[in-house]
Amino acid sequence: MQFKNPLKQLWAEGKSAVNGWIAIPSVLSAEVMARAGWDSLTIDMQHGTADYADLLTMLPVIGQTGTAALVRVPWNRPEHIMRALDAGAIGIIAPMIESAADTMAFVDACLYAPEGARSFGPVRARLAYGDSYAAEANANVLPIAMIETREAVDQLDDILQVPGLGGIYIGPADLSLVCGFLPGFDREEPEMLDLIAHILARAKAFGIPACIHCGSPAYARRMQDIGFSLVTIGSDARFLEAGANAALGKIRSGGY
């Protein structure tokens, strides 16, 4: 079996990916999301509620659909990154990357030698992707660095030049906080739009795919139209909340 990352293949074709976000550590909700047809799905271990045991149940379910499975780790630490990869993630999103040194440490944890320093032990990844996994992992695993602080923006060109970096991911909630706004997605403030455009332009200049978290399909489409390689829309938890509120609101108001 040949190991191929469908997200990298999509980008090679010049297409933008639509990413789903999993905050609920449930096999059922993971399968519901995976069967919806997202290009990729991210299990959130930073602000979501999954732990390592949850990865071992959700990643196989996602893998059955051919959807690219990513994990946002709790922090830029090798023990988090390597275990998520060994469990079968084919991309890692690392939060709060602020410098080239942070990025180099991140990439090192994602890639086997000689390109990196990842320790060998793909306990489930080998089962999921085949015995050729070790030979093919470096060409397929995506290290994606989150850009969400002033320090990261100031050091952006240095971050983007780190060999092996697979992409950057704008975290608009934290980025808006450091710019003096309340946190949230789908920013419309001129300062935030200029900052988002600047990050995107620098990523394009260095040939690095840029990703962004969005709250609505309409905003996600806008971000695709200006050149983002991946857009995330909401999360399973937010979809559940919105659906429940909408159903109850209609029946209680008589607007069904």
Q: Which domains does the chain have, with CATH numbers?
A: 6-253 (3.20.20.60)
pTM of the model: 0.96
Cβ burial, residue 26 (10 Å; 0-12/13-18/19+):
middle
Query: Cis before residue 114, ω within 30 degrees of 0?
Result: yes
68-72 and 142-147 beta bridge pairing: unpaired
- Residues with Cβ within 8 Å of residue 238, at least 6 apart in sequence: 23, 215
pLDDT at 255 over 80: no
Write out pLDDT tens, residues 60-90.
999 999 999 999 999 999 999 999 999 999 9
Whether 213 is a known active-site residue: answer no
Would you list the DSSP string of 154-179? HTHHHHHTSTT--EEEE-HHHHHHHT
SS3 92: strand
H helix count then E strand count, the chain: 13, 8
Give the active site residue among 47, 80, 198, 213. 47
pLDDT in tens, 204-247: 999 999 999 999 999 999 999 999 999 999 999 999 999 999 99
* pLDDT per position as a tens digit, 43-63: 999 999 999 999 999 999 999
Q: Output the pLDDT for position 3.
A: 80
